[in-house]
Amino acid sequence: MRARARIGMETPPVHFHIDRSDLRRYALACGETWPAYVDGDEAAPTFISALQTEGMGAGQLFEADLPFASMLHSDDTVEVYRPIRPGDVLTATARYCDAVLKDSTRGLMLFQTAEMLLRDGEGRAVGRVASSLVSF
């Protein structure tokens, strides 16, 4: 399976300068009403997702050229080591973790998993997210 050849593949580090307006815009798009989130003092709980597209290689990490009609998001696992705040300078590194074929009532399904680690300017871990996509 070609996707398994990606296991261990890493994408180059990506740097993010976290701006209060990024945090505000994200919180409002999620319907948040908690003042610290809406004011951008602290990131809403799922904000790490907003860094995934760039932080995980702008779509290059997952295998997309597959003999399946559809691809959807199947799982996320997140660890937040400390809240993301405005002024943070974060570095994302990402790695392709796994590709597994499973039989299901819908036929054969391929699950791909990759993870992204965020570190701050001092190299301390800020958060980690592992996401899986299912193709069927």
**97 touches another protein by CB under 8 A:** no
- Residue in 30, 72, 21, 63 with CA at minimum distance from that of residue 49: 30
User: Coil, helix or strand for 64?
Assistant: coil
| Count of residues near another protein by CB under 8 A | 34
- The alpha carbon of 80 is separated from its chain's Cα centroid by a whole number of angstroms, namely 12
Spell out the residues 6+ positions from residue 128 whose beta carbon is closer than 8 angstroms to its own: 78, 79, 81, 115, 116, 117, 118
Examine residue 70 and tell whether it contacts another protein (CB under 8 A): yes
* Residue 60 lies near another protein (rule: CB under 8 A): no
Cα 38 to Cα 30: distance, rounded to the nearest angstrom: 10
Told to check if 29 binds another protein by CB under 8 A, we report yes
Task: Return the sign of the alpha-carbon dihedral for residues 42, 45, 46, 49.
Answer: positive
75 counts as binding another protein under rule CB under 8 A: yes
- Using the Cα atoms of residue 58, residue 63, residue 69 and residue 71 in order, give the sign of their dihedral: negative
How many whole angstroms from its chain centre is CA 79? Answer: 11
Candidates 6, 11, 18, 26: give the one binding another protein (CB under 8 A): 26
Is 101 a residue that touches another protein (CB under 8 A)? no
Confirm or reject binding of residue 61 to another protein (CB under 8 A): no
Of positions 7, 9, 38, 71, contacts another protein by CB under 8 A: 71
With binding defined as CB under 8 A, does residue 74 bind another protein?
yes
Among 45, 91, 93, 120, binds another protein (CB under 8 A): 45
Binding residues for another protein, rule: CB under 8 A, are: 25-26, 28-34, 36-37, 42, 44-46, 49-50, 52-54, 69-81, 83
